[in-house]
């Protein structure tokens, strides 16, 4: 490549990194925290600051041992710098995503010495829906993906170096594995060790890895990273830690379906196809080529061929491991994404060089690109009507005692963002093909990358915040009003509603009563001290029959009630009423407040009902948490 071409592609690398920074950081703290995972992590860190214990997380007064400590520490560090809020909760994932892209770019540049391959790899890794979704969420999966990719990348570079220059890379590989274990426990081992083992066996490097793998210093690095926290947690909790963390949250997740997150053997196939769009048409053929059309002679001569082999092996290991596990969620297979992005970047790079493949490969590519893009467009364009048609079934799926979201009676009207994104998906399908047919291969590849960036931007900065405004903002508004209207003196309980984000927004523990515990609620209401009850509007008839219960207001599908003392404090505080939202194509006018029913004396000062809500990421219901002490 000429010096001018090198400079051009280096500028493209910088442009991709800048666009990725915007995608992962812009408005990161504007959307309310979702439930359940984001709410649980943020609430646990809030409890750390209240209690001063930064070693064993708690949630609603109970030990919270689902994940190791590193993600909680990262959120706590961000909160110490920025203050409590959505930005601090999500910033560790966003920073981990950007650090992952920097490491992946370094790996691609060192191995290929080509900025064009580096730029296309970064674009394919960064601008896909699943990567963007997890990178903007307060979850453990993005830090885990950073550390597993760091470990496997360093393992690869260690095998490419001669002794003693390989030693620091082996140490880095062990450190990445240790940090992954401190992020999500044995999952890091399940990703890294089989991938490294299969690659070493295929390459005939198994004995070399045994000789040079730093088996004295490496495990010591791993233990230095993990032993302090794991040892202290076990010392403080004993068998509870062993049972709750290793047996329940790891062994049982693999062998049993927990929290209703199950799926068949092919669960991750649609996740892969839709979550990696629009680069699946490049990544999936490259995955097959890296395994079937990558002979030993080519791998001996070309380090990039060896890197492609490791990438393909890692993708398959991640898919197999998590497909065999009984508990499934779409974000679990994220550790495959950077390696699939590397394969897609290689395929795009070869297309730039004129290697377009034969008729069969072009047909497969066209079918994948057109089919998946058309499916995205169809889903988005049909979303407004489909949501209204599916609303009764969605409401019927809600289980009051375990579902995190409360829904209004009527489905909301969301039109503009689904329409815009559906048309954008069609444009991403059409424009690269149009340019390629006219012999403008470079422009076609760049149009694909730019289309992926714009589509992910619209999805993450437009549609999802709009949906969150409907489904989660009313709950946040309710929590903030409770804080202003009742203050910290009033006790707060929940009835038929499990919503961890409320623990964070109210910054307190909230005793949880199930719908079968109406008698206990009546006893709580009989106390003289103010008592607030967080519940759902669908349970209003049940609550009206509980002695001493007074409804104070509703926010969409969420209901606030309490006893007479809470009502007096609530009416005396005169907090500001919610402003009515102006009518628009994006939302229906808020319905009027319900008329006072017989037997509802003292409720004339109810808050106005806020706008109806919508779904965020599918059905908001989840089954009952396990009763093994790992869930409050």
Q: Which two tokens stand for residue 103?
A: 């490491």
Q: Which mean pLDDT values do the consecutive 10-residue runs of the chain (632 residues) have? A: 84 97 97 94 97 95 94 97 96 98 97 93 97 97 98 97 95 98 96 98 95 96 97 93 84 70 86 95 93 93 96 97 91 97 96 80 86 95 93 90 88 92 96 90 94 97 93 94 87 95 95 96 94 96 96 95 94 52 39 36 36 34 38 36
> Which position has the token pair 């209240």?
50
Q: What single-letter DSSP state applies at residue 251?
A: I
| Dihedral class, residue 139 (left if φ above 0, else alpha if ψ from -120 to 50, else beta) | beta
Mapped onto helix, strand or coil, the DSSP state of residue 415 is: coil
Rounded to whole angstroms, the Cα distance separating 150 from 28 reads 25
Q: From residue 289, give the alpha-carbon distance in Å to each of 124, 191, 337, 343, 450.
A: 17, 22, 17, 9, 25
Q: What is the pLDDT of residue 244?
A: 86
Q: What is the pLDDT of residue 221?
A: 98
- Say if residues 112 and 304 touch (Cβ distance below 8 Å): yes
Give me the half-sphere count of Cα atoms (radius 13 Å) on the Cβ side of residue 399.
11
Rounded to whole angstroms, the Cα distance separating 563 from 362 reads 69
Q: Are strands 512-513 and 62-63 parallel, antiparallel or unpaired?
A: unpaired
Nearest to 143 by CA among 226, 67, 230: 67
Q: From residue 400, give the alpha-carbon distance in Å to each of 61, 98, 211, 593.
A: 22, 39, 58, 23
> Which position has the token pair 């390629």?
436
Give pLDDT tens digits for 507-559: 999 999 999 999 999 999 999 999 999 999 999 999 999 999 999 999 999 99
Rounded to whole angstroms, the Cα distance separating 608 from 236 reads 48
Q: Which two tokens stand for residue 85?
A: 């809020």
Cis amide leading into 164 (omega within 30): yes
Rounded to whole angstroms, the Cα distance separating 566 from 514 reads 21
Other C-beta atoms closer than 10 Å to the C-beta of 73 total 18
Q: Which two tokens stand for residue 250?
A: 């790891």
Alpha helices per DSSP H over 70-114: 70-82, 86-112
Quote the pTM value. Answer: 0.89
| Residue 154: alpha-carbon gap to chain centroid | 26
Nearest to 588 by CA among 611, 561, 559: 611
Q: What single-letter DSSP state applies at residue 584?
A: B
Rounded to whole angstroms, the Cα distance separating 107 from 115 reads 11
Question: DSSP readout, 418-462?
Answer: HHHHHHHHHHHHHHHHHHHHTT-HHHHHHHHHHHHHHHHHHIIII
Rounded to whole angstroms, the Cα distance separating 630 from 83 reads 28
Rounded to whole angstroms, the Cα distance separating 316 from 288 reads 10
For residue 533, the cross-strand partners are 493, 561
| Maximal CA-CA distance, the chain | 85
Q: Which two tokens stand for residue 79?
A: 């909160």
For residue 435, the cross-strand partners are none
Q: What is the 3-state secondary structure (H, E, C) of 287-305?
A: HHHHHHCCCHHHHHHCHHH
User: What are the boundaries of each domain within the chain?
Assistant: 97-355, 372-390+400-470
For residue 621, the cross-strand partners are none
Order of strands across the sheet with 550-555? 512-513, 491-495, 531-536, 558-562, 550-555
């Amino acid at each position: 490549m000429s010096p001018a071409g090198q400079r051009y592609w280096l500028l493209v690398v910088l442009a991709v990194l800048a666009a990725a920074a915007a995608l992962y950081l812009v408005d990161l703290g504007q959307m309310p925290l979702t439930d359940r995972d984001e709410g649980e992590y943020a609430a646990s860190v809030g409890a750390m600051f209240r209690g001063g214990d930064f070693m064993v997380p708690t949630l609603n007064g109970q030990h919270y041992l689902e994940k190791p400590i590193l993600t909680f520490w990262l959120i706590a560090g961000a909160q110490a710098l920025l203050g409590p809020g959505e930005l601090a909760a999500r910033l560790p994932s966003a920073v981990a995503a950007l650090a992952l892209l920097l490491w992946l770019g370094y790996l691609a540049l060192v191995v290929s010495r080509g900025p064009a391959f580096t730029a296309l790899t970064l674009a394919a890794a960064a601008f896909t829906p699943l990567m963007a979704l997890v990178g903007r969420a307060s979850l453990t999966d993005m830090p885990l993906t950073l550390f597993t990719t760091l470990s496997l990348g360093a393992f690869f570079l260690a095998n490419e170096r001669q002794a003693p220059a390989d030693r620091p890379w082996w140490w880095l590989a062990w450190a990445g594995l240790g940090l992954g274990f401190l992020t999500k426990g044995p999952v890091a081992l399940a990703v890294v060790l089989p991938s490294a083992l299969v690659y070493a066996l295929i390459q005939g490097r198994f004995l070399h890895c045994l000789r040079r793998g730093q088996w004295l210093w490496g495990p010591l690095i791993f233990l230095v990273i993990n032993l302090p926290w794991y040892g202290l947690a076990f010392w403080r909790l004993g068998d509870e830690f062993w049972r709750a963390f290793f047996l329940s949250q790891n062994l049982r997740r693999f062998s049993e379906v927990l929290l209703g997150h199950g799926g068949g053997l092919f669960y991750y196939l649609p996740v892969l196809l839709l979550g990696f769009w629009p680069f699946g048409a490049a990544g999936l053929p490259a995955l097959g080529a890296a395994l079937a059309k990558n002979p030993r002679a080519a791998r001996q001569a070309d380090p990039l061929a060896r890197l492609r082999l490791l990438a393909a092996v890692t993708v398959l290991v991640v898919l197999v491991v998590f497909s065999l596990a009984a508990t499934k969620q779409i974000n679990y297979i994220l550790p495959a994404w950077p390696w699939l992005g590397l394969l897609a970047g290689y395929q795009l790079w070869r297309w730039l060089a004129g290697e377009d493949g034969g008729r069969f490969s072009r047909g497969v590519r066209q079918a994948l690109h057109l089919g998946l893009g058309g499916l995205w467009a169809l889903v988005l364009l049909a979303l407004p009507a489909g949501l209204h048609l599916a609303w009764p079934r969605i409401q019927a799926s809600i289980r009051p005692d375990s579902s995190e979201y409360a829904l209004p009676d009527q489905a909301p009207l969301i039109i503009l963002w689904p329409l815009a994104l559906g048309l954008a998906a069609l444009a991403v399908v059409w424009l690269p093909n149009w340019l390629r047919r006219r012999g403008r291969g470079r422009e076609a590849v760049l149009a694909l990358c730019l289309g992926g960036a714009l589509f992910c931007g619209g999805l993450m900065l437009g549609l999802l915040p709009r949906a969150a405004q409907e489904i989660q903002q009313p709950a946040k508004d309710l929590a903030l009003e409770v804080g202003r209207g009742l203050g910290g003196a009033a006790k707060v309980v929940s009835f038929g509603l499990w919503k961890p984000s409320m623990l964070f927004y109210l910054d307190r523990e909230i005793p949880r009563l199930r719908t079968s515990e109406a008698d206990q609620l009546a006893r709580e209401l009989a106390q003289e001290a103010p008592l607030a009850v967080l519940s759902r509007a669908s349970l209003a008839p049940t609550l009206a029959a509980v002695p001493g219960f007074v409804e104070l207001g509703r926010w969409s599908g969420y209901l606030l009630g309490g006893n007479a003392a809470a009502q007096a404090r609530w009416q005396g505080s005169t907090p500001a009423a919610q402003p009515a939202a102006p009518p628009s194509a994006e939302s229906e006018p808020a319905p009027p407040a319900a008329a006072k029913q017989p037997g509802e004396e003292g409720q004339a000062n109810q808050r106005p009902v806020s706008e109806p809500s919508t779904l965020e990421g599918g059905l908001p219901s989840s089954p009952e948490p396990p009763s093994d002490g790992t869930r409050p």
